[in-house]
Amino acid sequence: MDAEIISFQYFKHSPHIMAHTAANEAHVSLDEGATWRPLTLPDAPATPISDVLAILRNPYFEGYAVIVTMGHVHYITADEGRSAKAIHVPDSPHAEARAAFAFHPEQPEWMLYSARSESCPSQLAGPGGCPAKAYISRDLGDTWDELMAMVGPTGCNFMRTDKLLTRHPRSVVCQVPREHGDRVDRSENPYDIVVVEDVFHRNPKVLLEGALDFGTIDKYLIMTRSTNNEKHLQMFITEDGEQVAVAHFPGEKHHTDPAYTLLPPSKSGGVLMLHVTKSLVPSQEWGAIYASNSNGTYFRLSLENVNRDEQGQVDFERIESLEGAALANVVANAGDLEASRRTREARKRYLSARSADKQLRTVMTMDNGASWHYLNPPSRDSEGRRYPCRSSAPSDGSCALHLHGYTELFDPVNIYSGSGAPGVLIGMGNVGSYLGSMRNASTFLSRDGGHVWTEIQKGAYWHEIGDHGVIL
């Protein structure tokens, strides 16, 4: 490939990999990346698929992926990238390409699609612009039926997931503008969240009036509503698509700060974790992680000053095959950064985007966020030399092992672990008071779930875990 790679998509049970390039093309490798070829159609093997916006893996069926383009024709593979076929849609995708398609957990041929309205100028086809249209296909994109004439930027999704088992397998949830018109209502809560119990018999009912958006994760459908002139956010939870409960936060509050990120759930599910942003200063973003009770309605503070980036991505990663285990990076100097911001505001001076750098430290939980500890550093490096500081972990991070996390890595999939190798963790970082630059990082290995670490190589190296941890 001549062009830079934007993202990879891996097929877990085969050596096949798909890549989205900066030339807006899709490439496929059938031999773990040793050789690559452009993805083409059978009737045009010499013409690469172009104008690619994103490659979306079907999260429920391993061999399926959709290649989203900028126009009316997208592409789908059902055999791990060996071949592809064109799917013709009513219009170009609405809003962000990664929200254009949604997939059914039990029917691989069923898809939802959010399209730009025919009367909507392309420059307004996103949040705050024109509403979208929602379509459904039950034959892998060969034909499309209109599901909703007007939906918001979140669009529609199948309400049923692999863990959210609603009453009807054909139920759909949608974000619908409260007042139909040429433009989406721009009030504080311009949408209703509606449920269509059966896509074959359209009879939508309102689940939550006056809402912002919704999302599904684990066994929960989560809906939000803005309050107090967008300064606060209410969160509503349902497990069955019928009974809705408001989320409770520490201090008997029924609201939280308005910017949040849903974090990956554990394999067994139940505990819902979310990151709520406390600082939105450019390049100085951080927030707090909250963990819920078993039904997702009561939240407790789990970890403060957790790092995030400008896109809302959080330095939090579940450890595959270790139930309840996760790694996170915290901003150790959050208090100093906040004090500096307040001083500058008091003096009415402009705050530089990088007036000070975050100082990150890595922590780990083994009990779904009930407690966190720092990583024990090895006593010697890979060349047998002692580190200049003596371990302060697990209670103190002033001399500990710190690892680069989700917000920094080019391809953040299974960053530290693999599902087939219980207890084996690999990361790139350094020993010291804080996380250093990637240029000065080394590669570290743990064979016992993160308790004991060994530096295995000077420098930061990409890595894969194979044969249940036998091959690295």
Q: Of 89-98, 181-190, 259-268, 280-289, which one has max mean pLDDT?
A: 280-289
Quick one: pLDDT band at residue 348, thresholds 50, 70, 90?
Answer: low
What's the pLDDT score for residue 267? 74
- The CA distances from residue 293 to 11, 218, 232, 266, 281, in Å, are 34, 14, 22, 13, 31
**Pick from 75-79, 239-243, 317-321, 411-415: least confident:** 411-415
What are the structure tokens assigned to 395, written together? 């209670």
What are the structure tokens assigned to 77, written together? 């593979």
Residue-wise pLDDT tens digits, 148-194: 888 888 889 998 877 776 668 888 999 988 865 555 455 677 889 99
Query: DSSP string of 141-199?
Result: TSS-EEEEEEE-TT-EEES--SS---S-TT-EEEEEESS-SSS---SSS-EEEEEESBT
Check: CB of residue 380 under 8 Å from CB of residue 387: yes
Q: Is the pLDDT of residue 408 over 50?
A: yes
Q: Which pTM was predicted?
A: 0.83
Residue 431 CB-half CA count within 13 A: 23
Residue-wise pLDDT tens digits, 209-222: 989 889 888 888 99
Quick one: pLDDT band at residue 373, thresholds 50, 70, 90?
Answer: very high
Residue-wise pLDDT tens digits, 269-287: 678 899 999 998 888 999 9
- Which class for 449: exposed (0-12), middle (13-18), buried (19 or more C-beta within 10 A)? middle
More confident residue, 47 or 267: 47
Average pLDDT, the chain: 85
Residue-wise pLDDT tens digits, 436-472: 999 999 999 999 999 999 999 999 887 666 544 445 5
More confident residue, 6 or 129: 6
Q: What angle do CA 95, 100, 105 make, to 5 degrees?
A: 150
Burial code (b: 16+ CB inside 10 Å, e: under 16) for 262-283 equals bbebbeebbbbbbbbbbbebee
Quick one: pLDDT band at residue 328, thresholds 50, 70, 90?
Answer: very high
Average pLDDT over residues 124-150: 81
Check: CB of residue 2 under 8 Å from CB of residue 19: no
**Amino acid code (one letter) for 370:** A
101 closest CA partner among 53, 63, 41: 53
**Pick from 145-149, 179-183, 425-429: least confident:** 179-183
Average pLDDT over residues 307-316: 92
| 382 dihedral zone (left: phi>0; alpha: psi -120 to 50; beta) | alpha
Check: CB of residue 367 under 8 Å from CB of residue 324: yes
Measured distance CA(32)–CA(28) in Å, rounded? 10
Residue-wise pLDDT tens digits, 38-70: 999 988 888 889 899 999 999 899 999 999 998
**Amino acid code (one letter) for 250:** P
What's the pLDDT score for residue 429? 95
110 closest CA partner among 79, 147, 139: 139
